Amino acid sequence: MNKNNAVTVSELVHQFGDDLYRFAYSKTNNKVVSEDLVQDTFIVAVTKLDTFRGESTHKTWLISILRNKIADYYRKKSKDNVSDKELDDQSMSFNAKGGWNKANTPFVFEDSEHLLDNVDFTDVFYGCIDSLPELWSSVIRMKYIDPKKSKEICQELDITDTNLWQIVHRSKLKLKDCLGNNWIQKGN
């Protein structure tokens, strides 16, 4: 930082860029999107640096800007509707009475207690998570892999509680299908 406690954007980038990138990546699990969000954060910082009042640290201020950029990103993504085909595929899992269709009956994993110790399974499992729509993948990672409370997930992604549970439900159905196709049917 320079002598008179004024800070330049270059100093902010040098000091906090990596931390902001790691934060963005933990929320998006996407390198390119994370880089873009951090860049957008610094663009806002350039335009607003003269209004920074010092009521928080520079890092806290930048994280706050980044949180807003992440929320904007997911707000835009949530407006991108899931295709009718994806919804139809999920509805095919159930019969008219709400029970499982025979072809879509949930499978039982043998020795499920040790599956996460199996490198081959975890590769398939994380591949299935990565194949979900981006918002869904983030929700699953935040809910089950890096456990956060539902309220916190809703705030960070700027979604409603109802939307969160719809995403979780749909994601689980897609993961079931993906694991069924890529793990069970391949003889594992």
Stretch(es) of the chain classified as CATH 1.10.10.10: 84-184
- Is pLDDT of 93 > 90? no
pLDDT tens for each residue of 7-51: 787 889 999 999 999 999 888 888 888 999 999 999 899 888 888
Only one residue has tokens 């835009």, namely 76
pLDDT band for 54, please (50, 70, 90 cuts): confident
**Which of 37, 154, 176 shows the shortest CA–CA distance to 101?**
176
The answer to whether the beta carbons of residues 71 and 157 sit under 8 Å apart is yes
- When pLDDT is averaged across residues 75-93 and rounded to a whole number, the result is 55
CB neighbour class for 53 (10 Å; exposed up to 12, middle 13-18, buried from 19): exposed
pLDDT of residue 2: 40
- Is pLDDT of 181 > 70? yes
Q: Which of 3-17, 61-75, 82-96, 112-126 has the highest mean pLDDT?
A: 61-75
- When pLDDT is averaged across residues 78-91 and rounded to a whole number, the result is 51
- In CATH, what number does 84-184 get? 1.10.10.10
Stretch(es) of the chain classified as CATH 1.10.1740.10: 9-79
pLDDT tens for each residue of 28-39: 888 888 999 999
pLDDT band for 3, please (50, 70, 90 cuts): very low
Q: Which CATH number fits domain 9-79: 1.10.3470.10, 3.40.1360.10, 1.10.1740.10, 1.10.10.60?
A: 1.10.1740.10
- Residues in a beta bridge with 100: 94
pTM: 0.51
pLDDT of residue 17: 92
**Beta carbons within 10 angstroms of residue 106's beta carbon:** 9
- Is pLDDT of 99 > 60? no
